[in-house]
């Protein structure tokens, strides 16, 4: 099968255009099988304080992600303030030994919508601290432009709220981001429910997809991971091939030239 072109994320060349999460799988083995099937080269991870009665928690998970041999993208999930997010990013850098951070600063607990003001502030601090920031953002154009001005090379607007599987709720906004920020690496992060949602985003010219729930909560996560891998590749190939423009009027696909005279006029 033909593969879409390689791409670069903060100087790191990648083949797969799928970033996949490590949460919500029915078992560790299912997680490992699904991530392998997805062919993802970047996986998202997180961190938490050890429980009082678990002095070696995290070791099993660490072994599994080491065996997967993927690039790690730690997140700041659960943070609702600049201070929390910056602190979590610093802890993640120390724990996972990477400058990459998926910056999440939530503004509302109902739809887990990013707080645009806090996101900009936290991004500014973390870039000054030497991080390579992957902001989880809304699809607001001006917000994304501000994040780019601060030095983000990658932006990750939502397709829909996290875990909803609603697909691309505002394709117009995503298309506008692609058109207005042609130099930026753009991934749709969150809201992808099925492979066709991912294809739609890739056909719009997005560089990649970050998802978790759509695979982890499928009846067969490994099979769904195969489906997403193929879908994302297909969507990117379609974008690279150039999708034909839509027309209002029909146009015959079979040539009429040289038809017998009795069929004409």
Q: Which active-site residues does the annotation give?
A: 102
Judge whether 222 and 37 are in contact, CB under 8 Å. yes
> By rule CB under 8 A, what string of x and - marks binding of each residue 201-230 to other proteins?
-----------xx-----------------
* 56: contact with other proteins by CB under 8 A: yes
* 137: contact with other proteins by CB under 8 A: no
The residue from 14, 30, 47, 148 that contacts other proteins (CB under 8 A) is: 47
Determine the size of the site formed for other proteins (CB under 8 A). Answer: 36
Least separation in angstroms between CB 213 and other proteins: 7
* 52: contact with other proteins by CB under 8 A: yes
Q: What is the 3-state secondary structure (H, E, C) of 229-242?
A: HHHHHHHHHHHHHC
Q: Which tokens go with 177?
A: 């981001």
Least separation in angstroms between CB 245 and other proteins: 37
Nearest to 191 by CA among 171, 166, 208, 213: 166
Judge whether 65 and 72 are in contact, CB under 8 Å. yes
> By rule CB under 8 A, what string of x and - marks binding of each residue 74-113 to other proteins?
xx-x---------x--xx--xxx-----------------
Name which of residues 145 to 174 contact other proteins (CB under 8 A): 162-163
* 48: contact with other proteins by CB under 8 A: yes
- Reported as half-sphere exposure (CB side, CA atoms, 13 A), residue 256 has a value of 7
Nearest to 178 by CA among 206, 216, 199, 208: 206
Residue closer to other proteins by CB (options 4, 211) is: 211
Judge whether 36 and 18 are in contact, CB under 8 Å. no
Question: Is residue 248 classed as helix, strand or coil in its secondary structure?
Answer: coil
Structure letter (DSSP) for residue 263 = G
**What is the chain's alpha carbon radius of gyration, rounded to the nearest angstrom?**
21
Which one of 23-31, 175-183, 233-241, 247-255 is the stretch in contact with other proteins (CB under 8 A)?
23-31
Contact residues toward other proteins (CB under 8 A) are 21-25, 31, 44-52, 55-59, 61-62, 65, 74-75, 77, 87, 90-91, 94-96, 162-163, 212-213
């Amino acid at each position: 099968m033909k593969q879409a072109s390689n791409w670069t994320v903060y100087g790191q060349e990648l083949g797969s255009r799928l970033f996949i999460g490590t949460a919500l799988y029915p078992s560790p083995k299912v997680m490992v099988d699904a991530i392998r099937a997805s062919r993802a080269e970047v996986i998202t991870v997180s961190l938490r304080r050890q429980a009082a009665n678990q002095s070696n928690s995290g070791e099993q998970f660490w072994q599994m992600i080491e065996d997967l041999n993927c690039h790690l993208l730690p997140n700041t999930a659960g943070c609702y303030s600049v201070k929390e997010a910056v602190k979590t990013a610093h802890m993640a850098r120390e724990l996972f030994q990477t400058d990459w951070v998926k910056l999440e600063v939530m503004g509302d607990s109902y739809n887990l919508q990013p707080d645009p003001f806090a996101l900009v502030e936290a991004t500014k601090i973390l870039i000054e601290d030497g991080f390579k920031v992957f902001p989880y953002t809304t699809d607001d154009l001006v917000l994304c432009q501000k994040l780019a001005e601060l030095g983000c090379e990658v932006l990750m607007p939502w397709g829909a709220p996290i875990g909803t599987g609603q697909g691309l709720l505002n394709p117009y906004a995503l298309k506008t981001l692609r058109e207005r920020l042609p130099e930026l690496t753009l991934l749709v992060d969150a809201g992808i429910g099925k492979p066709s949602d991912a294809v739609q985003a890739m056909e719009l010219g997005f560089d990649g997809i970050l998802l978790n729930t759509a695979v982890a909560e499928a009846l067969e996560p490994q099979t769904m991971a195969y489906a997403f891998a193929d879908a994302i590749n297909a969507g990117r190939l379609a974008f690279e091939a150039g999708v034909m423009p839509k027309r209002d009027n029909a146009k015959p696909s079979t040539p009429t030239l040289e038809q017998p005279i009795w069929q004409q006029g």
